[in-house]
Amino acid sequence: MSKATFDPTQYNRSGNTPFETVLERHVQRRTLIRSGSAMAALSIMSSLGLSACDSNSKKNNYGGNGTPLTPTPPVTEKPVLGFQSIAGSRTDAIVVPENYKASILAPWGTPLNDQAAAWKADGTNTAQDQANSVGMHHDGTSFYPLNGSNEDGLLCINHEYVDQDALHPNGATIDTETNRRTILEEIRKEIYAHGVTVVRVRKVDGVWEVVANDPHNRRITGATEMDINGPMAGHDLLKTKFSPDGTSARGTFNNCGSGSSPWGTFLTCEENWPGYFANTAERTEDQIRIGLGTTANQYGWNHLAGDESEENDEFGRFDVTPTAESALMDYRNEANGHGYIVEIDPYSPDSRPVKRTTMGRFRHEACEVGKLTAGKPVVFYSGHDARGEYVYKFVSAANWDPADADRTDRLAVGDKYLNEGTLYVARFNEDGTGVWLPLTTDSMDTDGNPLSDSFGSLAEIILNTAGAADELGATPMDRPEWGAVDPVTGSVYMTMTNNTARTEANAANPRIDNKFGHIIRWDESNDHKTFTWDIFLFGSPADGGEAINLSGLTDLNQFASPDGLIFDKRGILWVQTDNGADEVTEETNDQMLAVIPSALVDANGDAETISGSNQTELRRFLVGPNDCEITGLAYTTNNHTFFVNVQHPGNWPFSDDAQEETPAGMTVRPRSSTVVVEKVQGGPIGE
């Protein structure tokens, strides 16, 4: 989630035990067992720069039936990071290690076809131009090769939100007396700047370029029609004036994190979508729980509802206040068609995107597939990015068939694995174990009653996923964002970006405001019903002291607010930041770091966390320009090319050379961009 769209309100009022309390009790329990003295153990932990879970935390990985987890087969060859950590930077330029280069590939406004004019630096491009050009504020991304090529393929790029000041010549036009939007063209342009871009990119004479007018190129925007599948399809709560049968929706918004399915589709996540709708009357329980507002769309899109030039209620639909006798005559259910993971087939430009409602409805941040095993279900992990929210996983009813990876009817494969299955929410226990709680009507709440007492059907559970998770006693977390699965070990990692609402310190995290965030790690049991967890890495400024800098970071790897998290196929973990802590931003802009977790083992072969003794294995690889967020990472099959997104830069890019600093005193219209990173002489990135 971008800092610009962060909603600080904590909508979870469940009273469930928060993770910081679980973590504190976990440390107290472990220290008592090990040394008989909690204070002595805490002193040792602080001196080593360790957190609640040290190198021993993964020695006893037991499943729910008390049997050890299946060990991961040894890997004969492991990658080794071949670059040195770079210094921090506070410039309007990309910085990468020596012998690397970075260039601009697909900035906002790049035409996809001849229906769009070239991007104009004065902001005067039309809504029609924007509907046929790369969208704004790039985020999660994936690369899909064409014919197995490492130099020709399709990029799917998420677009999280819009900056009205950059999008229009002089920002949004608002009537000073009524404080309402007045120009229909501007609103359409904003709606079209949202969503997803699918664009063909190709390397020609050593240079990557966008292939204009390619048949694959297309925009999925805030107005694109898409199908609704799963438990919500056809439900009364999905029926609207636009979709009387409740099987379709218009648009996708606030597309932040993403994922890629094993069968070659793009999974885009609708994150802070509640702000796009408003109910000025009495809100429903699920609207209150998710944070849907009572005033207006955050951009004022509903201001021109009823305008004589409005088409098919394109603006009125953002006001979900009941105004008619039935849902078939208004848009009271319009917001119910949002908050899902949307599946897109990049190879089939005429296919309709599909909203996969079985995977839950909340503020999705990323969608990461678990390690695949033939004959076993397919698992996806996702976080709910808000203070005090939960970690989820979806387990397919169908078992994985490797032959499905090669099918060309990709959305039909998606139907097979994503329309039926079980959604779970996580409860973290103080003993370092955890339980996956199924979000089904027969699950028992914390009072011993079935969820069916509160939710009449699975569809109603899905509609208010977070509310159902409250009743099951799930563990509130510190803003769960991106997840990533180690291809070597199968361990799952997830960023907890920050929690500045905490007012009390605890033994495991003795800092009053957790403004720096951390990365949690867990291993699944064989039956996937339980797990064991530890803390892999804490963000911190280098001078935070032992009470803050629990991972022993230095000037060369200090960071805050971990957000994007991606494993490449070699087992290198790439950590991207959305820094909101002055102690770190004073030293460096947002960045991307690298580490190889599977290589961090002690003499007994047990997995280690990042600490003062091994922190040099966490290395800063890239620093972005001023005011930006580094987010989204895609790579070619051979890892020779990385595609990295730069979101909301302040005064960049100056040229196609992403490393060229904007000259002092010069102002440019900022453009979020996809950047290509390669070695100067070629070869795998990072090695």
Q: Each residue of 235-269: pLDDT tens digit? A: 999 999 999 999 999 999 999 999 999 999 999 99
- Selection from 533, 643, 561 nearest residue 2 by Cα: 561
Q: Are 631 and 678 in contact (CB under 8 A)?
A: no
Between 46 and 2, residue with greater pLDDT:
2
Work out the average pLDDT over 395-401.
Answer: 98
For residue 19, the model assigns a pLDDT of 67
612, pLDDT greater than 90: yes
Cα–Cα distances in angstroms (integers) from residue 23 to residues 481, 504, 549, in the given order: 19, 13, 17
pLDDT at 6: 54
243, 359 in Cβ contact below 8 A?
Answer: no
Distance CA 506, CA 166 (A): 43
pLDDT at 479 over 90: no
C-alpha span between 254 and 270 (Å, rounded): 6
Structure tokens, 203? 């390397």
Cβ-contact 284, 321 below 8 angstroms: no
Contacts of 686 (CB under 8 A, 6+ apart): 79, 81, 82, 83, 568, 570, 572, 594, 621, 639
Q: Is the pLDDT of residue 27 over 70?
A: no
> Mean per-residue pLDDT for 105-127?
98
Name the CATH superfamily housing domain 3-679.
TolB, C-terminal domain (2.120.10.30)
**DSSP class of 375:** T
- Provide the pLDDT for residue 687: 97
Mean pLDDT for 158-178 is 97
- Tens-digit pLDDT profile for residues 370-381: 999 999 999 999
pLDDT at 546: 87
- Residue 580: its pLDDT value, please? 77
Give residue 497's pLDDT.
Answer: 75
Higher pLDDT, 585 or 29: 585
Residue 63 pLDDT > 60, yes or no? Answer: no
Model confidence band, residue 431 (pLDDT cutoffs 50, 70, 90): confident
Number of CB atoms found within 10 A of residue 651's CB: 16
Interior angle at CA 408, CA 418 and CA 204, nearest 5: 115
DSSP 80: -
Q: Which of 397, 471, 439, 476 minimizes the C-alpha distance to 18? A: 476
pLDDT band at 26 (very low <50, low <70, confident <90, very high): low
Average pLDDT along the chain: 90
Domain spans of the chain, in order of start: 3-679
d(CA 56, CA 226): 48
122 vs 110, 126, 133, 646, 648, CA distance in Å? 15, 12, 16, 21, 17
The per-residue pLDDT for 210 is 98
The least confident of 96-110, 133-147, 344-358, 543-557 is 543-557
Q: Which residues pair with 227 in a beta bridge?
A: 248, 354
- Lowest model confidence (mean pLDDT) among 401-405, 437-441, 513-517: 513-517
Q: Kindly state the average pLDDT of the residues 130-144.
A: 98
Mean pLDDT over residues 4-18, rounded?
Answer: 69
Report how far residue 138's alpha carbon sits from residue 158's, in angstroms, rounded to the nearest whole number: 6
Q: What is the dihedral of CA 146, 150, 155, 160, to 10 degrees?
A: 150
pLDDT at residue 394, rounded to an integer: 98
Q: Which of 21-30, 89-98, 461-470 has the lowest mean pLDDT?
A: 21-30
DSSP letter assigned to residue 489: T
Residues 6+ apart with CB under 8 A from 359: 230, 340, 341, 367, 380, 382, 394, 418, 423
Structure tokens at 557: 């790897």
- In this prediction, what percent of the chain has a pLDDT beyond 90? 81
Distance from C-alpha of 482 to C-alpha of 576, rounded to nearest angstrom: 10
* Cα 657 versus chain centre, distance: 27
The SS3 assignment for 530 reads strand
pLDDT digits (tens, 9 = 90+) for 436-450: 999 999 999 999 999
**Pairwise CA distance, residues 218 & 344, whole Å:** 11
What's the pLDDT score for residue 370? 97
pLDDT digits (tens, 9 = 90+) for 276-314: 999 999 999 999 999 999 987 889 999 999 999 999 999
Looking at residue 29, its pLDDT comes to: 52
Mean predicted confidence (pLDDT) in 148-160: 98
**Model pTM above 0.75:** yes
Q: Is the pLDDT of residue 11 over 80?
A: no
To the nearest whole percent, how much of the chain has pLDDT over 70?
Answer: 88
Between 53 and 359, residue with greater pLDDT: 359
Distance CA 544, CA 535 (A): 18
pLDDT tens readout for residues 617-663? 999 999 999 999 999 999 999 999 999 999 999 999 999 999 999 99
The DSSP 8-state label assigned to residue 513 in this structure reads: S
Report yes or no: 502 and 515 within 8 Å, Cβ to Cβ.
Answer: no
Contacts of 649 (CB under 8 A, 6+ apart): 92, 624, 625, 626, 627, 628, 670, 671, 672, 673
DSSP-H helix ranges across 276-316? 285-290
Residue 33 has pLDDT above 60, yes or no: no
Q: Looking at this protein, which amino acid is placed at residue 184?
A: L
**Mean of the pLDDT values across residues 43-59?**
34
Strands (E), 230-344: 248-250, 255-260, 266-270, 341-344
pLDDT digits (tens, 9 = 90+) for 215-233: 999 999 999 999 999 999 9
Look at residue 412 and tell me whether its pLDDT is greater than 80: yes
Lowest mean pLDDT across 9-13, 56-60, 318-322, 581-585: 56-60
pLDDT at residue 71, rounded to an integer: 37
